[in-house]
Structure 1
Amino acid sequence: MPRCGRPGRRAHAGALAERRVLPADPGGRRMRRVPATITPYPDGPLIARGDIELVDAGGAPIATRRRTVALCRCGLSTIKPFCDGTHKAAGFRTE
């Protein structure tokens, strides 16, 4: 699974990456915008980085806590829409 910002820590699939532009964060500092990118990892998840907003099929927002999130592509994750690493055991392969 891809690593997140801190060395030695793995990105948890349930901890999403979203950074909304707000007037100020709780500490009173201004938050900066980060362009959104989506990167497909070979035989693995889609990695979404930056300012993103995830919504479910009904349009309801899905809560996020981080700027980087791994999204399931194999369809076998138990924490959809996030990746839980199940693709490895299932032998999921991309073309």
Structure 2
Amino acid sequence: MSEEEKKTQNVESGVSDDNDNSHRRRRRRVVQNLKCPLCESGVKHVSYKDIFQLKKFTSVRGKIISSEKSGLCHRHQKQLRQAIKRARFMALLPYVADE
């Protein structure tokens, strides 16, 4: 069999010799210039006791939302993470979502 016959046979069978990833699309990251909602409201410290505020920054499954999605600055994201972990340890917040 010649090279051309092999290629046509592979094309007909759906097998490709080339590693062509042209069918894949890259996801573009949407960059949003969000202002930190806690900085704008004047919050200086995030408390583990304020579970209603902490629930705003957790997903439906109970995970902590990233700062890219929530728009928090580094300082408030760090305080929020620590407050959520403390609230979970004291059983004020669940570790996982309720079924």
Give the structure-2-normalised TM-score: 0.22
Structure with more helix by fraction = 2
- Structure of larger gyration radius: 2
Structure (1 or 2) with the greater strand fraction: 1
TM-score between the two structures when normalised by the length of structure 1: 0.23
